[in-house]
Amino acid sequence: MQAWTRPFVPRVTVETDDAPSRLRVHDTAREELVEVGPVDGTARMYVCGITPYDATHLGHANTYLTFDLMNRVWRDLGLAVNYTQNVTDVDEPLLERAEQTGVRWQDLALDQTDLFRSDMEALRVIPPDHYIGAVESVPSVLGLLESMLPSGAVYQVDDPEHPDWYFDVSTAPGFGSISHLDHDAQLKKFVEMGGDPDREGKRNPLDCLVWRLHRNGEPHWESTALGEGRPGWHIECSAIALGHLGPHFDVQGGGSDLAFPHHEMCAAQARVASGEPLADAFVHSGMVALDGEKMSKSKGNLELVSRLRANGAEPTAIRVALLDHHYRSDWEWTDTQLEASEQRLATWRQAVSRAEGSAPVEALVKGLRTSLRDDLDAPAALVVVDDWARRTLAGEGADDPEQAVAAIDALLGVSLTA
């Protein structure tokens, strides 16, 4: 699948030897800050992509900006990055929405993926190197499932009409160690996210669907080994991640709503299939709310990037408004945040255009690197830019403002020239 156009990412040539030399972020599994990415070579990151309907709301945008910062910090550290992201372009909620609105599910997915691409491009998000749809991954999902058959970790439920295939969570060493929930909490979240603990014939209530056999009117693909059907949600991400990154990559990412069951299931399946952990660290961004509740497609309390853009908001200001919240916090969107970031941008642009030059760029770059390498502290990085702008406007220093513009663009993805 085609991703979107890559924004220009300047290289920051300013040396700041005393900034931390590695990126540290919070790993949900170890429940502490850990260094992520290799010392040199290629960092490998998988981020769970959209299910293409009601895209792109500010919760989605916030999640992809989090991992865009990670990508930018790694690149600034001199690493190459293999970034893989999926599109869940066939799954229950998408099929339901298509049915309700009377459009073909394929058209809904294409249309919404296009909208997502244009929003990501406008927000200057670096595109994934591998942007992979569930539909195009059916052969690799089937390959993965077939490789798991001999171990007995995937099995058919005892249902003569629809003997669907499930993954037996009891076969996975360490199941539950990413999200740390007790059994009752696991069951509750499993149901909230579309799980079926009470389905008859399952070995364990938390076993997840991996291959749903064909029902009339549903999309389906051939499989000699499993029977005609379609993939479950969690196995899609295991197969795409293993296929494009290999096992034990650096970061598995997404919003905190995905820690359980999705990331737990993806990791468990991959562990059984490959014998290795899926990822070194599991990183989760907080939930964005609107009108007092988590912004969600099922509730309909959404603010869309495209709607804000259509109403005249500059994408850079949307980006700054989102970056003003630490990635791990849960927070609520209000329009005043957009106004505040427009003001902020105007001040920064005024500083850039000051004819006599900029306040010292080295301090700016050191401040940006230090805050971002320390658990992606974007709000602190914005304060560093505020401080640089204030000092510049107060007449301190005569550095080349182009270097400041390049550093702010490279590390924060905020273009002051646009």
Binding site for ligand 5CA (CB under 6 A): 48-51, 59-60, 62-63, 86, 88, 237, 254-255, 257-258, 287-288, 294-296
Task: Give the Cα separation of 168 and 171 in Å (integer).
Answer: 6
Which helix (H) or strand (E) element contains residue 238?
helix 233-245
CB of 280 to Zn ion, least distance (A): 17
Backbone angles phi, psi at 179, to 5 degrees: -100, -15
Pick between residue 76 and residue 236 the one whose CB is nearest to ligand 5CA: 236
Cα→Cα distances 87→19, 28, 178, 188, Å: 36, 23, 23, 26
Pick between residue 135 and residue 157 the one whose CB is nearest to ligand 5CA: 135
Pick between residue 237 and residue 287 the one whose CB is nearest to Zn ion: 237
Instruction: Please give the residue whose beta carbon sits closest to Zn ion in the complex.
Output: 48
CB of 271 to Zn ion, least distance (A): 16
CB of 199 to ligand 5CA, least distance (A): 21
Backbone angles phi, psi at 353, to 5 degrees: -90, 5
290 three-state secondary structure: strand
Q: Which does 50 bind (CB under 5 to 8 A by kind): ligand 5CA, Zn ion, none?
A: ligand 5CA
Pick between residue 266 and residue 405 the one whose CB is nearest to ligand 5CA: 266
CB of 150 to ligand 5CA, least distance (A): 27
Which residues of this chain interact with Zn ion, rule CB under 5 A?
48, 237
Strand order in the sheet with 249-255: 130-133, 80-87, 42-47, 249-255, 279-285
Q: Cβ(296)–Cβ(82) under 8 Å?
A: no
Pick between residue 64 and residue 348 the one whose CB is nearest to ligand 5CA: 64
Pick between residue 53 and residue 175 the one whose CB is nearest to ligand 5CA: 53
Q: Which does 295 bind (CB under 5 to 8 A by kind): ligand 5CA, Zn ion, none?
A: ligand 5CA
CB of 170 to ligand 5CA, least distance (A): 24
Q: Which does 255 bind (CB under 5 to 8 A by kind): Zn ion, ligand 5CA, none?
A: ligand 5CA
CB of 376 to ligand 5CA, least distance (A): 15
Q: Which does 81 bind (CB under 5 to 8 A by kind): ligand 5CA, Zn ion, none?
A: none
385 three-state secondary structure: helix
Q: Which does 59 bind (CB under 5 to 8 A by kind): Zn ion, ligand 5CA, none?
A: ligand 5CA
Per residue, the 3-state secondary structure of 54-101, as one string, reads CCCEHHHHHHHHHHHHHHHHHHHCCCEEEEEEEECCCCHHHHHHHHHH
CB of 257 to ligand 5CA, least distance (A): 5
| Nearest CA-CA partner of 49 in 34, 35, 61, 32 | 61
Pick between residue 48 and residue 295 the one whose CB is nearest to Zn ion: 48
Q: Which does 94 bind (CB under 5 to 8 A by kind): ligand 5CA, Zn ion, none?
A: none
Q: Which does 63 bind (CB under 5 to 8 A by kind): ligand 5CA, Zn ion, none?
A: ligand 5CA
Task: Give the Cα separation of 153 and 230 in Å (integer).
Answer: 18
Angle at 322 (CA atoms; ends 317, 21), nearest 5 degrees: 110
Angle at 233 (CA atoms; ends 227, 235), nearest 5 degrees: 70
CB of 70 to ligand 5CA, least distance (A): 14
Per residue, the 3-state secondary structure of 324-384, as one string, reads CCCCCCCEECCHHHHHHHHHHHHHHHHHHCCCCCECCHHHHHHHHHHHHHECCCHHHHHHH
- What are residue 290's DSSP bridge partners? 293
